[in-house]
Every structure is written in structure tokens, then in C-alpha cells.
């Protein structure tokens, strides 16, 4: 690489870094979009199983980690799990890139959220990879981790505090659903008016349903901490079961399950229309 006119070594290094980022950016973008597809499919699987539970036609409530088991049990399950692991890794990578430098000028709170999501989905990617290599294996359950934390000094504070954070995130998701904040991450110019209408309405429903689930998970974690009872640990599966056990539970579970499917479809829309620009996030001045 030759120096540009009047470039000093630092400027040369920066130009080289920018060129390298621009070269790898299309591959990262494709991987991120595949990650959104993978995340969407997993939520759709969870939602469909919950619909079957609510309607009494079979199925069972499960979590995203449980959805991996369901995927692995299908024909060509190990191949599908391998693709799922790749997609989840791609989604985790994109979220972690957004922590380094958000292309949309997001604040610290948003970046912390991106980092947490990146770590969570990286863990799911590892779990999917373990299932490919050793079917039937699995990582530690949330209840197991909760029991470990509760056994530590002031562990109940950590668990209850985590519950407050998760429940607060659920409340924020309700606000995001009302404001349809996800539209800021979509290329609306690429959509037809009809597609935009369906994505906006379905997305609101999906994000609101996910917010309800997060709220219940947070409450269950707070109960686990305050009662020193790890069996009450909050999980997606546990939240859906808590809904199902309430009066008119089958109806409430059915509505939330349809919302989770809608959220999965929103992730598919993000894969198609999302503003994913790794070059702006990885290299910015």
C-alpha cells in the first residue's frame, strides 16, 4: 500500500484500517442478517409450541434454549443446529459491534443493552454448538445458576436486583412497542405501504408481548431472591407457564404466544429491511 499525498504514518494506518473494515463489512452484514433470521425462527418455534399448549392440541411451553432441543430433534437436526449456531453467533457479533461504535449514535444505555444481548446470544450459540457435537447435552439451567448465586453471601440481593433490571427492561419494551422505536432501525423506503403497515402493527404487538414475558421473568427472579428459592427462577418457559396457570390462562397464553410469533416475524423483517452497516460501526471518527 502506497502512501497518499502528504500522509503521515498515522494517517496511513487509519486509511489501511478503514479499507480493511470496508472489505470485511459485507460479510459481517450478511452474517448479521442471517442472525436476525435465526433469532426470528427460534421465537416462532417458541410461539407455535405455546399456541399448541394454549389450544390443548399438544406442544409445550419452552425457552429459547429449549427451542434448540426442538430444532435438533427434527430431520437433519444436527445440520439445522449447526446453521442455528452460526446464525446466533452472527447476531451476537453484530450486537457486540454495536457496543464498540453504534452507527446510529445511540447512548450508553443502549450500548449496554447491545452488549448484554451479544453475550446472551453468544451463550446460545455455544449451546447450539454443544448440541451438534454431543446431542442431548446442555448448559447450566437458569435455576441452577440461581441456586449457585443464592448460595453466595448476599446472593439474594444479586438475584433480586437482576429481577428488577429484567422487569424494568420489560417496561421499557412496552414503551418501545407504543412508540414503535424499531422503525428507526428499518429502511422504510424499501417497503411498500402495505408491508410497512403490517410490519408496524405486527411489530408493536410482538414487542409488547415480549415485554410482558420479560416483566413476568423479572418478577419471578425477584421472588426467587427474596424467598431464597431457586425453583422460582425466571425463565421464558416459566413466564409462559405462570400465564397459563392464571384464570383465563389459556387465552392469555394464546395471545402472548401469537405475539411471540409476531416478534419472530419482526426479526425476519429486520433481516430483510434492517439498517445494518458494520463499516460505520467498526470505523468511525
- How confident is the model at residue 1, as a pLDDT? 47
pTM: 0.84
**DSSP H/E element including 174:** helix 155-179
Distance CA 227, CA 221 (A): 10
- What does each of the 285 residues of the chain score in pLDDT, given as a tens digit? 455 555 555 555 445 445 544 555 778 888 999 999 999 999 999 999 999 999 988 778 888 888 998 998 888 889 999 999 999 999 999 988 888 765 555 677 788 888 889 999 999 999 999 998 877 655 555 666 777 777 788 888 888 898 899 999 999 999 999 999 999 889 899 999 999 999 999 999 999 999 999 999 888 888 888 877 766 566 788 888 888 888 888 999 999 999 999 999 999 999 999 988 765 655 554
- How confident is the model at residue 5, as a pLDDT? 57
Amino acid at each position: 500500500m502506497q502512501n497518499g499525498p502528504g500522509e503521515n504514518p498515522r494517517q496511513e494506518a487509519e486509511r489501511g484500517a478503514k479499507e480493511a473494515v470496508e472489505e470485511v463489512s459485507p460479510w459481517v452484514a450478511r452474517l448479521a442478517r442471517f442472525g436476525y433470521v435465526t433469532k426470528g425462527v427460534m421465537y416462532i418455534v417458541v410461539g407455535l409450541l405455546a399456541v399448541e399448549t394454549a389450544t390443548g392440541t399438544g406442544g409445550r411451553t419452552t425457552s429459547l434454549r429449549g427451542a434448540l432441543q426442538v430444532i435438533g430433534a427434527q430431520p437433519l437436526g444436527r445440520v439445522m443446529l449447526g446453521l442455528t449456531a452460526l446464525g446466533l453467533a452472527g447476531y451476537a457479533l453484530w450486537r457486540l459491534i454495536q457496543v464498540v461504535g453504534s452507527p446510529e449514535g445511540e447512548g450508553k444505555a443502549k450500548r449496554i443493552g447491545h452488549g448484554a444481548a451479544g453475550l446472551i446470544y453468544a451463550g446460545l450459540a455455544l449451546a447450539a454448538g454443544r448440541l451438534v457435537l454431543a446431542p442431548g447435552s446442555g448448559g447450566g439451567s437458569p435455576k441452577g445458576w440461581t441456586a449457585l448465586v443464592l448460595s453466595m453471601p448476599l446472593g439474594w440481593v444479586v438475584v433480586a436486583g437482576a429481577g428488577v433490571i429484567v422487569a424494568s427492561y420489560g417496561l421499557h419494551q412496552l414503551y418501545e412497542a407504543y412508540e414503535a422505536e424499531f422503525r428507526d432501525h428499518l429502511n422504510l423506503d424499501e417497503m411498500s405501504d402495505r408491508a410497512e403497515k403490517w410490519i408496524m402493527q405486527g411489530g408493536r404487538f410482538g414487542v409488547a408481548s415480549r415485554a410482558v414475558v420479560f416483566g413476568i421473568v423479572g418478577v419471578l427472579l425477584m421472588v426467587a431472591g427474596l424467598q431464597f428459592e431457586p425453583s422460582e427462577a425466571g425463565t421464558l418457559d416459566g413466564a409462559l407457564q405462570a400465564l397459563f396457570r392464571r384464570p383465563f390462562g389459556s387465552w392469555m397464553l394464546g395471545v402472548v404466544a401469537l405475539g411471540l410469533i409476531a416478534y419472530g416475524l419482526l426479526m425476519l423483517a429486520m433481516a430483510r429491511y434492517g439498517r445494518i452497516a458494520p463499516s460505520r460501526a467498526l470505523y468511525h471518527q
